[in-house]
Chains A and B, each alone.
Chain A
Amino acid sequence: MLLTLILLPIATAFLILYSSTRIQYLLSAAVLGVGSFLSVSLFMSTERVSFHLPFLLNAMIIAADLVLLIYFLVQGKKFNSPKVIVLAAAQLLLYIYAEYAAPSGRSAEIVVDELSRFMFLIINIVGGIIVLYSVRYMEDESVEPYKKRHFIAAMLLFLSVMNAIVCANSLLLFFFLFEMTTLASYQLIAFRNDEISRANALRALWMNQIGGVVILAGTLVAALVLDTVMLDTLLQHSGGMLLFSVALLSMAALVKGASIPFDGWLLGAMVAPTPVSAMLHSATMVKIAPYLILKLAPVLGTTLLGGVLSITGALVFVAAAYLALSRSIFKEILGYSTVALLGLMMALAAIGTKESMMLSMVLMLFHALSKALLFLAAGVLEKQYHLKSIEEMSALVHRAPKTVGFIVLGFVSLTLPPFGLFMGKLFAITSVASLLRERPLLLIVLVSMIIGSTLLVLLYFKVSSALLSNPSDTVRTEKERIPQGFSIPLVLLSLLILFAAAGFIVIQHDVLLALFTLPLLFVFALPSMIRSMEHYDRTAIYHCGEKESFDAALVYYEPSVRIKGMIYWGFGILFVAVAFVGVLS
């Protein structure tokens, strides 16, 4: 089953290169169906699967890795970016040394545990839906047909890379796949091939390569001092340089999760076509960050390193939510809120108790669903209405009631009860509060969590203030038609959000929690209630004597340059501090 998950997208990708649009729909729907089925049935089974890779495959991976790093070098030279060249060269040297120093493997390179199975769910269901969506999205893109097919194929290949990375046990294999995701990011951001895309792609490349460098450094420490490059054996060690190696690996998570000061690459990545933003930059690829911390969490536990990581994550949550308040491009707002929530997930993972790790996973799942929905809706706005900035979206509900409905559902599911993300945050507050007596440092995490959540409420509903605002319902709202290629993925995601939230509440066995679902009843009763309102007289709104009607402008909260500088420097110092704490402890 595992092999199918990895090979099926690859095979389909090749088929898609030679097929018409109709077949593309069929193929991507098939991948979604089969992938979801397999990942759900894998999730149900509980056995731990592990196996060695054949020697030949290992050799091929080494060769592919070398080619990849040389490709980065060439790209750096071609586009004249010294940072890319230096980092690629550094990785090349480190990689060769690491392969040379790595002890011959005693344990399996591939291990499928509970966490991997959980990640399969997110990757294959949410990722599959996004691939299906991208077929329709590409129809409207103004590029040559072969490039469209390449795009969909690349998305599929990326799915299989993601499926592989979450069960990689060898750090060197993990590094290779990590670099593959970096490559995917780089290629897909540069897809439109204009100046901005190219510049942002290069920035994403060099920033992610920092992640590659620290992974290799961590691997080298593990190989030279602890004599292993396998994650499971590494985590069974204790003392010595273990925490240094773990610290270096978790720095890679901070880079991949675009934590401040690395938020620049994720924001820049928003110039890519929307399915890319949905898949790589919110639903799946950046989830490597909390995934990696979750993997390392057993040794983080009560160590100082775990403390520093969870505080960093929590502070990123607040700072990114705050920075998002100054943005006006819809996708950038979503991007910043992804950075924020990734910070929260990493913070919870790094706390390392069983409950907090579970909550981190819950947040991951619900975040993937909600953010995918929001990005796909953003794609509809972009393609059908040519809207990108929230400034232009005033009173959009009048023109596009359905799309706005999806967006508001997305916002509500990110912040309010009874949806999963809210529940996750609620339990996180309870869980952290119960740990406070033993670990007072977590107070920082708790306070950041509380403030950050409120800031996110402000952010999302500030944005929805622009979308909503309907004139009196004597004016007819236009009928909106979303093409089926767009509406099916959107509806699928919305249903998943609702059912997952309901399921999550049911498994809590808490009657009181079910009461949070009451507002939903209101939403469902709304249509019939609206009909009963017909006998009330309608009126125009009150303008206070003004003749022209006017819109209240959107509000922004921009930090001053000095404060912004302080934020970036502060997080830069925290990032380096992670390594120092690793060395010292």
Chain B
Amino acid sequence: MIWVWIALAPILGGLVYGGERVLRARMQRRLGPPFLQPFYDMFKLLDKRTLIVHAPHALLAVAHFFALWFTVAAIFLGWNLLYIVFLHLIAQMLLILAGYSVRSAYSHLGANRELLMLVAYEPILILVAVGLYLVSGSFEITGMIQKGNYLAQLPLLFAALLMIVPIKVKKSPFDVGEAHQEIVGGVEIEYSGVFYEFLYMSRFLEYLFIYSFVFIFGGESVWLGAVLVAGVFLLVNLVDNATARVRTPQMIKIIYMAAMPLAVLNLVWILR
């Protein structure tokens, strides 16, 4: 059963993404695209003529997608959360190397930003893993979701996680990775056709990745986890509609000055 879910993960993520676009549109009193738009896009992209800059560049996008899929599979299988964070790191580095591997200014700018985003959220993700470990006594997700009551013990850490969710799903105020006006397409700019589709699908998997962290905070209660995910999903989109983008250095400053102390404070509090 679990393997079916793993196989369907990109489609699952696609539904989340499609749903999000509808939700955001409704928040702005627009009708928005159809719910299944991501899949229509897929057929359109597969139909297009594929142009590539050079082979390794195109292949790195494919590798990025599969590494992310693997990461999500590891989450579904309930493996060590710390390992999962680092599997995700590999996936991101593949994308960043892809961005650097072409002589395109926009691609470089995009990869720079991806790198800086990584610097912002990576420490928080690891601290979340450590925090959950300290409460549950296990780094394995299977162990973590057998205990409960994380929210009561790790409220500040959860707040820190909330602050990095927008970075990962590229939502305001931290959507520096997707600032069309500044970096055009960023890392994605030199891709087309089927290879762009791989990048497009990776974004669906990113949704599953980051929202799984939120879900784990529900602990043994699946319902609490689901409510948390739904709540955070709504909140992130609400904030996205209500705020403007900050600059990249400001984003890093905010994460290091606000989210990091919150996370550390929480750890100090449970260690006392």
Where the two chains meet, the residues of A that have a C-beta atom closer than 8 Å to any C-beta of B are: 395, 412, 416-417, 422, 426, 429-430, 433, 436-437, 440, 443, 446-447, 450-451, 454-455, 457-458, 461-462, 464-465, 468-473, 512-513, 515-516, 518-519, 522, 526, 529-530, 533, 536-544, 549-552, 555
Contact = CB atoms under 8 A, between A and B. Distances in A.
A526 to B, nearest CB: 7
B79 interface: yes
A529 B52 CA distance: 14
Given A443-B267, A512-B80, A469 B108 contact: yes
A541 B107 contact: yes
A472 B53 contact: yes
A416 B106 contact: no
B52 A536 contact: yes
Nearest to A418: B90
Interface in B86-121: 86-87, 89-90, 93-94, 96-97, 100-109, 111-112, 115-116, 118-119
B149 interface: no
B15 interface: no
A465 B82 contact: no
Interface string B113-133: 001101100110011001001
Contacts of B80: 512
A437 B271 CA distance: 6
Given A465-B108, A470-B101, A542-B190, A458 B59 contact: no
Nearest to A557: B249
B55 interface: yes
A550 B90 CA distance: 29
Nearest to A433: B130
Contact of B103 (A416, A458, A538, A541): A541
Contacts of B58: 533, 536
Contacts of A395: 103
The 8 closest A-B pairs by CB, nearest first: A552-B108, A473-B54, A539-B51, A533-B55, A541-B104, A530-B55, A440-B271, A552-B105
A416 B127 CA distance: 18
12 contacts: A416-B89, A416-B90, A429-B130, A457-B119, A457-B122, A469-B100, A516-B87, A530-B55, A538-B54, A541-B103, A551-B105, A552-B109
A285 B257 CA distance: 38
B93 A518 contact: no
B134 A440 contact: no
Contacts of A468: 97, 100-101
A470 B54 contact: yes
A407 to B, nearest CB: 13
B56 interface: yes
Given A443-B271, A530-B55, A544-B106, 10 more contacts: A429-B130, A454-B118, A461-B115, A469-B101, A473-B53, A530-B59, A533-B52, A533-B58, A544-B184, A555-B112
Given A430-B82, A433-B134, A436-B271, A538 B52 contact: yes
A450 B127 contact: yes
Contacts of A443: 264, 267-268, 271
Nearest to A544: B184
Nearest to A469: B103
Given A429-B126, A468-B100, A542-B189, A440 B86 contact: no
A465 B123 CA distance: 22
Contacts of B122: 450, 454, 457
Nearest to A541: B104
Contacts, number: 168
B54 A519 contact: no
Nearest to B248: A555
Contact of B51 (A473, A536, A555): A536
A1 to B, nearest CB: 40
Nearest to B107: A541
Interface in B6-64: 49-59, 63
Nearest to A523: B63
B119 A458 contact: yes
A519 B94 contact: yes
Contact of B111 (A422, A429, A446, A465): A465
Interface string B67-87: 100100010000110110011
Interface in B174-216: 184, 189-190, 192
Nearest to A519: B90
Contacts of B217: none
Contacts of B190: 541-542
B158 interface: no
Contacts of A540: 53
A340 to B, nearest CB: 15
A537 B49 contact: yes
A551 B108 contact: yes
Contact of B63 (A519, A530, A542, A551): A519
A551 B82 CA distance: 37
B55 A529 contact: yes
A542 B57 CA distance: 15
Contacts of B133: 433
Nearest to A537: B51
Nearest to B83: A512
A454 B271 contact: no
B139 interface: yes
Contacts of A549: 103, 105
Tell me which of A440, A512, A530 has the highest count of chain B C-beta atoms within 10 A of its own C-beta: A512
A471 B267 CA distance: 48
A516 B51 contact: no
Contacts of A412: 93
B116 A458 contact: yes
Contacts of A519: 63, 67, 90, 94
B86 A422 contact: yes
A412 B90 CA distance: 10
Contact of B86 (A516, A550, A552): A516
Given A516-B87, A537-B51, A538-B51, A440 B268 contact: yes
A464 B119 contact: no
Tell me which of B55, B74, B139 has the highest count of chain A C-beta atoms within 10 A of its own C-beta: B55
B108 A472 contact: no
A540 B189 CA distance: 12
A552 B192 CA distance: 22
A549 B103 CA distance: 9
Contacts of B86: 417, 422, 426, 516
B105 A526 contact: no
Contact of A530 (B56, B97, B119): B56
Contact of B134 (A436, A529, A541): A436
